[in-house]
């Protein structure tokens, strides 16, 4: 598998959503403090995974919160790579959330969990992707639900502080 093959799953829509999420997360900490001076339910969080990678849980909106994350992947063909950023919209209930998303026609499965307090958030991330062992016309090994190359982040813990 080569680096270009991992880019085949990134659509223009997902790139746009990730860009908006990063803009929103960098602009909103001051707004969050103004809306929730006690760091309560609407505060955003920034932190790192156990792999040392930045995660961001955005401020609360009517549609949920944006959770932006990524992980290092280990594959069955002995390759490793740092995956692209994912952005999930999560709904927090009783200060907890869980999101399980299947995308790219079943080739990508992400599961994230989180628990929030007024000042901290923590949880887990897991990403599993499957790639075809047969290169396409461009020489990439594309994502495939039935692919024989399995890449897995395994369970990665994350923690963050309210901003």
Q: Could you read off the pLDDT tens digit of each residue along the chain, which spans 163 residues?
A: 544 444 333 333 344 444 444 444 444 444 333 334 333 456 899 999 999 999 999 999 999 999 999 999 999 999 999 999 999 999 999 999 999 999 999 999 999 999 999 999 999 999 999 999 999 999 999 999 999 999 999 999 999 999 9
pLDDT value of position 15: 41
Query: For residues 109-123, b (16+ Cβ closer than 10 Å) or e, as one string?
Result: bbbbbbebeeeebeb
C-alpha to C-alpha distance for 147 and 102, rounded to whole angstroms: 15
Other Cβ atoms less than 10 A from the Cβ of 138: the count is: 10
pLDDT value of position 41: 57
pLDDT value of position 43: 85
pLDDT value of position 142: 95
Spell out where the chain has E strands: 45-49, 54-57, 65-69, 72-75, 80-82, 86-90, 96-103, 108-116, 120-131, 149-152, 156-162
pLDDT value of position 36: 41
C-alpha to C-alpha distance for 35 and 30, rounded to whole angstroms: 9
Rg of the chain taking only CA atoms, in angstroms? 17
Yes or no: say if 129 and 151 are a contact pair by the CB < 8 Å rule. yes
pLDDT value of position 65: 98
pTM of the model: 0.75
């Amino acid at each position: 598998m080569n680096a270009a093959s991992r880019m085949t799953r990134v659509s223009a829509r997902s790139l746009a959503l990730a860009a908006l999420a990063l803009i929103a997360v960098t602009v909103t900490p001051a707004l969050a403090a103004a809306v929730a001076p006690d760091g309560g339910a609407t505060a955003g969080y920034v932190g790192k995974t156990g792999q040392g990678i930045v995660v961001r849980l955005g401020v609360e909106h009517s549609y949920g919160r944006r959770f932006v994350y990524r992980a290092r992947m280990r594959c069955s063909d002995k390759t490793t790579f740092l995956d692209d950023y994912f952005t999930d919209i999560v709904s927090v209930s009783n200060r907890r959330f869980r999101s399980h998303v299947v995308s790219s026609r079943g080739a990508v499965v992400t599961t994230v969990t989180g628990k929030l307090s007024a000042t901290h958030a923590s949880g887990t991330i897991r990403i599993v992707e499957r790639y075809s062992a047969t290169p396409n016309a461009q020489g990439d090994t594309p994502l495939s639900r039935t692919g024989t190359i399995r890449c897995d982040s395994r369970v990665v813990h994350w923690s963050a502080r309210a901003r």
